[in-house]
A and B are shown apart, each in its own frame.
Chain A
Amino acid sequence: MKAAVFRAFLLLSLAVGFVTLGALLYDVFSKGLPLLDGRLLTGLPSSLAEEAGARPAIFATIEMGLLLIAFVVPIGVGTAIYLEEYANKERWYNRLLEVNIANLAAVPSIVYGILGLAFLVRGLGLGRVLLAGAMILTLLVLPTVIIAAREAIRAVPSSIREGAYALGATRWQVVWRQVLPAALPGIATGAILALSRALGETAPLIMIGALTYVPFNPTLLGEFTALPVQIYDWIGQPGDDFRALAAAGIIVLLGIVLTLNAVAILLRNRYQKRW
């Protein structure tokens, strides 16, 4: 009897997550699907719900995604290689580096927005531009990429490294030709998950002024808005029409984010190597 009650509690607690997920998807799709059409993808933002589209926001989100990958993969993988292959773990500064990365991973995203506001937008005088947005998102997901890359590199058995050294390879030859290729699926998975997380971020972008009217395709050093920020803007507009528009925007955003997640999971399952 007690066992049955307990089992029921466990199933119930699991059901809470799934039922909510189902209700969320049903709610969004039932409200947004009728408005999910060409105009949403190609139109410009407008004060009239029936004319508004999200083209500048979608463009900005794609541009930021590309920039993010270009920034975060070299820096993140570079840090991971340094920590796993080069750093002497006995040294205090390397231990501090590890603790630092772990702590950064848990800093609330809005705090990164404050950092962007203080340094990139006003301090450096970059202004409220797309590049600043991409840089902030890079710093935000950098710890995630570092941690994923380190795990992937650590999973490469040391026998492979020793074999390469025995054949006379230098340290970098070992890393570049042996370790990195073997760790690639793990690194790619981590990078895609980070990309997916970054593209859904809203709060830090609001802080650096992405909540604004942008009726043109964004450029690197111009004003910008992003898809989640556009959705937030629509949620705040009065009237049911804008709510439905927000739901349609959410379908597009979920489409991008969940596809990336699915790709990452497939990649992990398919190429996960057992040594």
Chain B
Amino acid sequence: MAAPAAARAISLERSRFRPGELLIRLLLGLCALVSVATTIGIVVALLQPAIDFFREVSIVDYLTGREWAPLFEPPHFGVQPLLVGTFVVTAVACAVAIPCGLGSAIFLSEYARPRVRGFLKPALEILAGIPTVVFGYFALTFVTPLLRDIGIQVEIFNGLSAGLVMGVMLIPTVASLSEDAMQGVPNALRDGAYALGSNKLQVATRVVVPAALSGIVASFVLAISRAVGETMIVLIAAGQQPTFTWDPRNAVETMTAFIAATGNGDVPRGSIEYKTIFAVGLTLFVITFVMNVIATRLVRRYREVYE
């Protein structure tokens, strides 16, 4: 310790040994270890039973099978119905969240006066604070009947209303991250475009949005990742029927809904059904993890350019 410390240019540490300071440092390090332990815990919790599962079910059958029926005799462990169910709901959610979130962000960043913005932004954040079980209730008891009233033939549980409501829930996610990215675009770029005779529309769509693009795309990826991982809305409103269907008007089961529905029951430990929770959980974790890594990379890229 002594030799390298002396080599450093300025050291703020006193040279006298202070056990109290050392103890505090240790305690703080322990706090930091909690999050490391959480990650290790998640990986171990998922991996171990999942490996057991894939000893009994071949990974090829799991990924390519189109029938998901762990409780039937003979059981089928094809995850595709769950993947497609997740995809359908996510696609509907993105069809709402991406245009509305981006539109809101452009308005807040480029069009709204500071006072209007100061009011609208926190108001939009209310949406982000509403618990997902409430959105699920709203999708089931309000949106589904509404869809039927306007002539869209949906089942009682369906991917469409779950996806629509989830999309609205994700608007603040897209809007706030995209707006941050747009605020990071230097005013010099805007002024330059105005000086060349551009109008507000051209500045927003041809200068600000392209300049903030990586941050905007990151917000999209993050929204997709959150849609894939969202549980309560789909559990309540999309159904628990693992049918292989691309039609959002049908009942679909997502990966998250399957995990919650199975995990909530008293599944005997060690049974193949218990292990499916972890196999599907691992699949979900890998998908969201990859998307989060992409989003983080993209955010870092726009930060490097302008800050």
A: which residues have CB within 8 A of B? 2-3, 6-7, 9-14, 16-18, 20-21, 23-24, 27-28, 31, 74-76, 78-79, 81-83, 86-87, 97, 99-104, 106-115, 117-119, 122, 139, 142-143, 146, 165, 170-172, 196-197, 199-203, 206-207, 209, 211, 228, 231-232, 235-236, 243, 246-247, 250, 253-254, 257-258, 261, 265
| Cβ A12 vs Cβ B103 within 8 A | yes
Report chain B residues within 8 Å CB of A78.
27-28, 30-32
| Cβ A23 vs Cβ B142 within 8 A | yes
A-B contacts, 19 listed (Cβ < 8 Å): A6-B204, A10-B111, A12-B103, A13-B102, A13-B103, A14-B103, A14-B104, A18-B123, A24-B142, A75-B31, A79-B32, A82-B32, A86-B29, A102-B296, A106-B222, A108-B230, A109-B231, A211-B264, A231-B137
The 7 lowest CB-CB distance pairs between A and B, nearest first, are A108-B229, A13-B103, A200-B131, A78-B31, A118-B45, A203-B231, A82-B28
Report chain B residues within 8 Å CB of A211.
264
Partner of B46, one of A97, A114, A143, A207: A114
| Cβ A254 vs Cβ B35 within 8 A | no
Report chain B residues within 8 Å CB of A115.
38, 41-42, 45
Cα-based distance from A197 to B289 in the complex (angstroms): 21
Report chain B residues within 8 Å CB of A7.
111, 201
Cα-based distance from A254 to B129 in the complex (angstroms): 9
Interface residues of B toward A: which range? 35 or more
| Chain B 218-259 per-residue mask, 1 if CB under 8 angstroms from chain A, else 0 | 000010011011111001100000000000000000001001
* Known A82-B29, A250-B134; further 17 A-B contacts with Cβ < 8 A: A14-B107, A17-B124, A27-B142, A103-B296, A114-B259, A114-B278, A118-B278, A197-B129, A200-B134, A202-B133, A203-B231, A206-B264, A228-B131, A232-B133, A232-B235, A243-B141, A258-B126
Name the residue on A nearest B39 (C-beta): A100
Report chain B residues within 8 Å CB of A118.
45, 49, 278
Partner of A110, one of B129, B135, B284: B284
Cα-based distance from A9 to B18 in the complex (angstroms): 63
Say whether B56 faces chain A, with CB atoms less than 8 Å apart.
no
Q: How far is the CB of A193 from chain B (nearest CB, A)?
A: 8
| Cβ B292 vs Cβ A111 within 8 A | no
| Cβ B129 vs Cβ A246 within 8 A | no
Say whether B55 faces chain A, with CB atoms less than 8 Å apart.
no
| Cβ A235 vs Cβ B136 within 8 A | yes
| Cβ A170 vs Cβ B21 within 8 A | yes
| Cβ A201 vs Cβ B288 within 8 A | no
Q: How far is the CB of B178 from chain A (nearest CB, A)?
A: 12
Cα-based distance from A118 to B47 in the complex (angstroms): 11
Name the residue on A nearest B291 (C-beta): A106
| Chain B 98-137 per-residue mask, 1 if CB under 8 angstroms from chain A, else 0 | 0111111011100100000000101111110111111111
| Cβ B236 vs Cβ A232 within 8 A | yes
Cα-based distance from A107 to B289 in the complex (angstroms): 7
Say whether B277 faces chain A, with CB atoms less than 8 Å apart.
yes
Number of A-B contacts defined by CB within 8 Å:
254
Cα-based distance from A17 to B120 in the complex (angstroms): 11
Report chain B residues within 8 Å CB of A103.
39, 289, 292-293, 296
| Cβ B263 vs Cβ A207 within 8 A | yes
Q: How far is the CB of A34 from chain B (nearest CB, A)?
A: 15
| Cβ B229 vs Cβ A109 within 8 A | yes
Report chain B residues within 8 Å CB of A20.
127, 165, 168
Say whether B62 faces chain A, with CB atoms less than 8 Å apart.
no
**If the complex has contacts A3-B201, A17-B100, A232-B236, are A119 and B45 also in contact, measured as CB distance less than 8 A?**
yes
Report chain A residues within 8 Å CB of B134.
24, 28, 200, 231, 250, 253-254
**If the complex has contacts A16-B96, A17-B100, A206-B264, are A250 and B137 also in contact, measured as CB distance less than 8 A?**
yes
Say whether B60 faces chain A, with CB atoms less than 8 Å apart.
no
Say whether B81 faces chain A, with CB atoms less than 8 Å apart.
no
**If the complex has contacts A27-B138, A170-B18, are A110 and B201 also in contact, measured as CB distance less than 8 A?**
no
| Cβ B136 vs Cβ A104 within 8 A | no
| Cβ B132 vs Cβ A200 within 8 A | yes
Report chain B residues within 8 Å CB of A119.
41, 45
Report chain A residues within 8 Å CB of B269.
122
Name the residue on B nearest A232 (C-beta): B133
